[in-house]
Copies of this chain bind each other. A is one copy, B any other.
Amino acid sequence: LAGPELTSPRSARVSAARRLAKRAFRARERLFLAEGPQAVREALSADGVVTELFVAPEAGERYADLVEAARASGARISTATDGVIAALTQTVTPPGLIAVCRFVDVPLTSAVDASPRLLTVLANVRDPGNAGTVIRTADAAGSDGVVLADASVDPYNAKCVRATAGSLFHLPVVAGAPFVDVVAAAGAAGLQVLAADGAGEDDLDALIDDGTLAAPTAWVFGNEAWGLPEELRAQCDRVVRVPIHGQAESLNLATAAAVCLYASARAQRR
């Protein structure tokens, strides 16, 4: 048996992939890295996304089906040492499989033209783990798309990709749309725009009870630390608070999004 093809983290091909850890290089190449068997499997299930697969020896045996699927899809298969794989990731436990993927985000118009009933909008969410968890939660709740508006984190950040647990490849994701355009497009598509905010005038339970949540909705979630500034809240149809029954001051971003999105999913599907 021949050993791995790539043995040096400094080789040209490995260096090119390593540069994708930086946002500027990702934006230039329109490529990013998806790590680990789950993300690679989901990336492969999206047509024409994976351009190259880096595979460590043990992972190549264990996930032979994924390597074969990648090969069949026309992706380049690059066998690599554990050291090379480790150089491509910041995780403590190197994942064994890393795919170079084409960007999957779509324009705002295409996300909104598809008659969405449940849209998820992140406004200036900066933590990649939070953004990724919301993308995963939005997918689970049946959201028709996620928009990362204004200065939100890059969805192709490695931590964000990991936190989506594959959902980045499941639903339309819009990156970098101006918030004002998102609100206008959602309104034109017949969606009510609800902002989640601890100081909202409307109580989530009341909007379930009065039927408001059954209507097509774009949910807006703000920055994890400072929430939604007044100028963004003013553009939304309503500002909604998740009720706090105990003494907590607030919920964190991803858990508030889970409660709101699942409340809408239930109201819309009854």
Contact = CB atoms under 8 A, between A and B. Distances in A.
Given A245-B141, A258-B258, A250 B170 contact: no
Nearest to A169: B247
Interface in A150-177: 165-167, 170-171
A259 B260 CA distance: 9
Interface stretch (A2-10, A68-76, A226-234, A261-269): A261-269
A94 interface: no
Contacts of A251: 136-137, 140, 258
A28 B244 CA distance: 35
Contact of A266 (B136, B141, B167, B205): B205
B248 A170 contact: yes
A242 interface: yes
Given A140-B244, A205-B266, A242-B262, A165 B249 contact: yes
A192 interface: no
Nearest to A133: B252
Contacts of A266: 205, 208
A211 interface: no
A255 interface: yes
Given A242-B262, A266-B205, A269-B245, A250 B142 contact: no
A207 B167 CA distance: 27
Given A255-B133, A255-B258, A245 B140 contact: yes
B165 A246 contact: no
B248 A166 contact: yes
A104 to B, nearest CB: 14
A124 interface: no
A63 B217 CA distance: 41
A203 to B, nearest CB: 11
Contact of A170 (B166, B170, B247): B247
B255 A142 contact: no
A247 B205 contact: no
Contacts of A205: 266
**Residue among A243, A248, A265 having the largest count of chain B Cβ atoms under 10 Å:** A248
Interface in A204-250: 205, 208, 242-250
A167 B247 contact: yes
B139 A248 contact: yes
A78 interface: no
The 10 A-B pairs with the shortest beta carbon distances in the complex, nearest first, are: A142-B245, A255-B258, A140-B248, A139-B248, A170-B247, A139-B246, A258-B258, A142-B246, A259-B262, A137-B255
5 contacts: A137-B248, A137-B251, A139-B246, A140-B251, A256-B258
